[in-house]
């Protein structure tokens, strides 16, 4: 065993009386709260109303949590259904056991945000650009839930920051693994700061900053995903296509789509609504 390593928590659940406090869920809650707080500050700085982002976040988070779990169950269906399933079908509802996908969260969460923006009369693209850094920072925080669950680790490594995984979670005695949760967390922190800088330096509007977030995240996720050894899409092995995992192909498709959108909208300069119209006055436009 190398002299240096990252230990995994011995437990991820604490009890407050008979109430279980799960670290995985706590990390998600803190990540969401921080993302909403930062996004609200950015929205006010853009001229938006106080509390608007909080109101929009409620359906966005609800839809996002459903989408995050649906994507996991769909891509890892063999864990819960079929002759080789190692879990009962009803365990697909046990979100505290892990299995929350950012792809599903952003996709279905976006539907919730779109519905809320329509109801309030706001530009979806303006909201998307505002929340992009908050999503990145929120993901960075939420990823630590995987550390407590001892999941999403990578292949064996001899690096001094190798991660210890106990045998109950698939680890081998004396073997360290790439802490992919940490790689992604650090990548997302860097991405969040890069988005804030790019938004201020280049005044990116009309969803272009959000497209930059998608491109940046998928670029990092692609190489991090390649280090993982957990079975995504299968029971005892990951489903592969042309030597790439499912999530790597998803990253490629979304990266390409984000870059195309960024290029196509490069000359778009119409105003965006950040304050809904009132009966007495027209809607306020974003700067």
Sorted by sequence, the CB contacts under 8 Å of residue 287 that are 6+ apart come out as: 46, 47
Nearest CA to 1 among 172, 152, 150, 153? 172
Instruction: Please report the DSSP string for 133-170 in residue order.
Output: HHHHHHHHHHTHHHHHHT-S-BSEE-STTPEE--GGGT
Is residue 245 within 8 Å of residue 226, measured between CB atoms? yes
DSSP state, residue 265: T
- Interatomic CA distance for residues 13 and 26, integer angstroms: 10
**How is residue 116 written in tokens?**
């809320």
Nearest to 189 by CA among 151, 142, 222: 142
d(CA 261, CA 170): 41
Place of tokens 């800088």: 197
Residues 272/197/211/41 CA torsion (nearest 10 deg): -50
The DSSP 8-state label assigned to residue 184 in this structure reads H
- The answer to whether 22 is a known ligand-binding residue is no
User: Which residues define the annotated binding site?
Assistant: 143
């Amino acid at each position: 065993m190398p002299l240096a390593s990252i230990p995994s928590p011995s437990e991820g659940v604490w009890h407050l009386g008979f109430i279980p406090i799960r670290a995985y869920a706590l990390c998600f809650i803190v990540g969401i709260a921080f993302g909403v707080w930062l996004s609200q500050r950015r929205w006010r700085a853009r001229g938006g109303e106080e509390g608007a982002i909080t109101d929009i976040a409620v359906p966005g988070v609800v839809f996002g949590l459903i989408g995050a779990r649906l994507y996991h169950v769909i891509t890892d269906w063999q864990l819960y259904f079929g002759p080789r399933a190692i879990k009962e079908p009803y365990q697909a509802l046990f979100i505290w056991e892990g299995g929350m996908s950012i792809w599903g969260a952003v996709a279905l969460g976006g539907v919730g945000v779109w519905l809320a923006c329509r109801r309030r009369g706001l530009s979806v693209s303006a909201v998307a650009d505002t929340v992009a850094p908050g999503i990145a920072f929120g993901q960075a925080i939420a990823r630590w839930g995987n550390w407590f669950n001892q999941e999403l680790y990578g292949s064996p490594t001899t690096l001094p920051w190798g991660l210890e995984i106990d045998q109950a979670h698939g680890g081998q005695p004396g073997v360290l693994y790439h802490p992919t949760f940490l790689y992604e967390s650090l990548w997302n922190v860097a991405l969040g700061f890069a988005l804030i800088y790019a938004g201020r330096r280049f005044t990116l509007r009309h969803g272009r900053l959000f497209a930059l977030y998608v491109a940046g995240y998928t670029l990092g996720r692609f190489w991090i995903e390649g280090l993982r050894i957990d079975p995504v899409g299968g029971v005892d092995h990951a489903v592969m296509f042309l030597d790439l995992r499912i999530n790597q192909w998803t990253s490629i498709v979304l990266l390409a789509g984000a870059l195309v959108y960024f290029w196509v909208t490069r000359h778009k300069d119409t105003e965006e609504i950040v304050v809904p119209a009132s009966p007495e006055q027209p809607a306020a436009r974003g700067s």
